[in-house]
Amino acid sequence: MDTDKHPAAENALGGFLRARRAQLRPEDAGFPASGRRRVPGLRREEVATLAGVSTDYYMRLEQGRERHPSRQVLEAVAKALRLDDDAVAHLYRLATPTTRRTRRAPRVERAGPHLRRLLDTWSDTPAFVLGNALDILARNQLATALYAGFNACDNLLLMTFLDPAAHHFYRDWDRAAESCVAALRRAAGIDPDDPRLIEIVGELSMRSVEFRALWARHDVRGKTREAKLFHHAEVGDLELHYEAFTVNSAPSQQVIVYQAEAGPSADALALLGSLTAAPTLQRAPFVSPD
- pLDDT tens digits, one per residue of 206-245: 999 999 999 999 999 876 667 899 999 999 999 999 999 9
| Per-residue model confidence as pLDDT tens digits over 22-35 | 999 888 888 877 66
Question: Percent of the chain, pLDDT > 70?
Answer: 87
How large is the average pLDDT for residues 47-56?
A: 93
Q: Is residue 152 pLDDT above 50, yes or no?
A: yes
**Short-list 287, 240, 232, CA closest to 263:** 240
List 242's β-bridge partners, or say none.
Answer: 226, 258
Residues of the chain with CATH 3.30.450.180: 113-276
Q: Which fold has domain 10-95?
A: 434 Repressor (Amino-terminal Domain) (1.10.260)
Separation between Cα atoms, residue 204 and residue 166, nearest integer Å: 15
The answer on pLDDT for 283 being more than 60 is no
Question: Residue 289: how many CA atoms within 13 Å on its side-chain side?
Answer: 0
Q: Residue 1: which pLDDT band, with cuts at 50, 70 and 90? A: very low
Helical H segments across the chain, by residue range: 12-22, 44-51, 55-63, 71-80, 85-95, 113-121, 141-146, 156-162, 166-169, 173-190, 195-207, 209-215, 264-276
The whole-angstrom separation of Cα 227 and Cα 22 is 28
Given this model, what pLDDT does residue 20 score? 92
Given a cut of 50, is residue 280 above it in pLDDT?
no
User: How far apart are alpha carbons 169 and 230 in whole angstroms?
Assistant: 5
pLDDT band at 282 (very low <50, low <70, confident <90, very high): very low
Average pLDDT (166-190) is 95
Each residue's pLDDT tens digit, 2-14: 443 444 446 889 9
pLDDT at 232: 97
CATH fold group of domain 113-276? Beta-Lactamase (3.30.450)
> Which ranges in the chain are annotated with CATH 1.10.260.40?
10-95
Chain Cα centroid distance, residue 282: 45
Burial class (CB in 10 A: 0-12, 13-18, 19+), 87: buried
Q: With a cut of 50, say whether residue 49 has pLDDT above it.
A: yes
pLDDT digits (tens, 9 = 90+) for 62-114: 998 888 899 999 999 999 999 999 999 999 999 886 655 556 666 788 999 99
Phi, psi of 16 (to 5 degrees): -65, -45
Provide the pLDDT for residue 203: 96
Over residues 246-254, the mean pLDDT reads 90
What percent of the chain has a predicted confidence (pLDDT) above 90? 69
